[in-house]
Structure 1
Amino acid sequence: MAKAMREPTFWILTALVDQARHGYGIIQQAAILSDGSVRLQAGTLYAALDRLAAEGLVVVDHDETVDGRERRYYRLTKGGVLALQDETERLARNATTASRQLATRRNLGEATA
């Protein structure tokens, strides 16, 4: 069984599913996709990107200069896609199990408060 992924890692990988993004773009997309529940800080993000790159889950796609500032774009690797799929399946299994347990409680007439 795979180790549970940290929530920021989950949202970083999720933010990279559809396209390569630079750091600020990842921060924005993670906030949008998580309905604002995840607010990545730059230091946390870049440390995580370094770790994810070392693990082979993301790679640098390209660099560009905008208004005199360097932007580094990251993209998901095939390994990153597989890791995200595995985590998504793990979370779905957990949610299914919890939902089943909650339904059993309701069926037994247990108080929910």
Structure 2
Amino acid sequence: MMSVELFKLQNVENDPEWIIKEFFNSAYFQGEFVSAVNSIAAGRSCVINEDYCLFADPEGPDPELYFDGVKFGIMNDQVVVTNEKCKTFLQGACSRYVELHPEDREKLPK
């Protein structure tokens, strides 16, 4: 099992972005990081056990389920961020992953 985190979680109570960081850490620890980041980079939702990154479907059947941005969730906690914020975290997670696994650089989104 990998023991190094991609993102350090310092103070969950005062960090509104902890859910995003934990999503990427969880994907990494579960061996699903490469698949998850490629899905997210392509604008496709990704669910790993009880953790998720969802893109809204404005054409979906229930307008009440629509949200503006990208929704990250860990079990019962969730946060919606802008597409730009999602991209920033995606790039940060990929950069850290490549530091730990340079051999996988070509497997990650450009």
Q: Could you say whether these structures have the same fold, taking a TM-score greater than 0.5 normalized by the shorter chain as the test?
A: no
Normalized per residue, which structure has more helix?
1
The TM-score, its normalising length taken from structure 2, stands at: 0.37
The TM-score, its normalising length taken from structure 1, stands at: 0.36
